Structure 1
Amino acid sequence: MNFFQGLSRPMRLAGVVLLVIAAGAAIVGIVTAVSGGGPSNTAQPSSSAAPPPSGPGGSAAPPTASSAAPPTTTTAGPPPATSQPASPPGASATQPAPPNGGVPVGQAEAKWVPVRVYNNSTIKGLAARAADDLRAGGWNVAEVSNYPYGIIPTTTAYYTPGTDEETAARAIAAAYNMQAAPRFEGIQNASPGVIVIVTNDYQGLHAKGS
């Protein structure tokens, strides 16, 4: 008689059930081992974002054209105003300087000033000859006459000080070898202009040093 035969019927029934359970558990274990079952070891995604892929040399790869920020456009303002006005079309960049230190020809000598020529000599027609010399030099001879009110010691161009008459008188004196002096009392109220009183020593244009 074996072990099971020595047991009572209920006990034999319980033993059979235990054997069946054990056999089933063994079958489940074998199947699980063969199929690779068990706790899932699938990696869960990390909560932090993955770093961007690296380019050559380990540096971060440049962003694609679709992800790059659009370029900023800058509107150019108006050009700065120049301190100098623009030259008219065809004008030369440099203008030649006028003669006489920037003064137009004739203005430095004030040749527009009237010149009155008077003869105070014993030479007939001397005032007319002097007037012709002055006109030839571009001077504005306004009157030719005699001066019988005293004797003038030398040919002189008289002027009113501080006026254009002074400029003209000094230019005439230098060109025609005569003196230049302010108006004296006898001619202070005479008509405006340079008063040239010629005497016997008048020699004419550019006579000085000849």
Structure 2
Amino acid sequence: MAANVYVGLVHYPIYNKHEQVVATAITNFDIHDIARTTRTYGIATYFLIHPHEAQAQLANEIMEHWQQGGGAQYNPDRQEAFRVVEVAASIESTIAEIEKREGKRPRVVTTDARIFPNTVSYAKVREQISQGDEPVLLLFGTGWGIEKETMAAFDSILEPIYGPSDYNHLPVRAAVAIILDRLLGESWWTKA
């Protein structure tokens, strides 16, 4: 079902807590945990999106250790998870790469803890994915979220994840897992 679904973790353009646009750092945990989650849900490719070469090099060194280095023999499950991870320099280059692979531009869906005019439900995006008519790129922001003008250019934005409290600041790794389960996981609510 997820053969034409892609995930991108965006590190620029991102807001910091002072609402300044910055490039956030790639973290080891985000590489590992999101790779495992995307592999579990059958994602075609998980793109680490970062414009700075030094950060891309760091990510590639980490991945190389787990794909060909000592980590590959130490933990073959991690090696398998890293099979779906690639580094990209920008959102635009990620879209272009998917378009090249799929023969058409992907529908770009992103996430945020806020409501936007083009906010859509999980049910709607799950239905679009299940129809399989077009590739889908799910973008997740780091820091304090993707810059607003960039957000406005996306096809749609998923509604926020709400818990039972008034606190709403999930780590991106948790948000990715929850959202992929909502969009691609089994329909447990239909089972008795």
What TM-score do you get using the length of structure 1 for normalisation?
0.20
Q: Structure 1 or 2: larger strand share? A: 2
Q: Which has the larger radius of gyration?
A: 1
